Amino acid sequence: MTFLRAPLVWRILLIAATLFAVTMALLPHPPSVGDINDKYQHMTAFGTLTILYALAYPATPLLRIGERLSFLGALVEVFQSIPALHRDCDVMDWIADTFIIVVVLGIIAFARRRRGVAP
């Protein structure tokens, strides 16, 4: 079994990346990652999660992956509205999350079609 075909490895990486992304999103004072725009941080996190999800669950329909990850992005924004977290809920963050999810899933669907794999 090759590394790229080992769903267990991808599932572990997906869980770790999801826990990291959600933790960073909900920390009251997350560490600074330099001069990177907040939207780009969201897009990097959710783009990575989308790739890992598609690798970890290759038989899952891409629409379902998109739905679940977009819901996670919305849920993060709802939790960020909790006053005790000292974070701000911004619907544009959720839109950025969903945008990159759709773009990455589109690329995955295109690549799968070219390889003859059902999207």
Question: What's the average pLDDT block by block, 10 residues per block, for the chain (119 residues)?
Answer: 73 97 90 81 96 96 98 96 89 96 97 83
Structural domain span for residue 43: 3-27+39-115
DSSP 3-63: GGG-HHHHHHHHHHHHHHHHHHHH-SSPPP-SS--HHHHHHHHHHHHHHHHHHH-TTS-HH
Structure tokens that stand for 21 in this block: 């992304």
- The answer as to whether 22 is a domain residue is yes
- The answer as to whether 14 is a domain residue is yes
Domains held by the chain: number:
1
Give the pLDDT of residue 4.
59
Q: Are 21 and 45 in contact (CB under 8 A)?
A: yes
Give the pLDDT of residue 109.
96
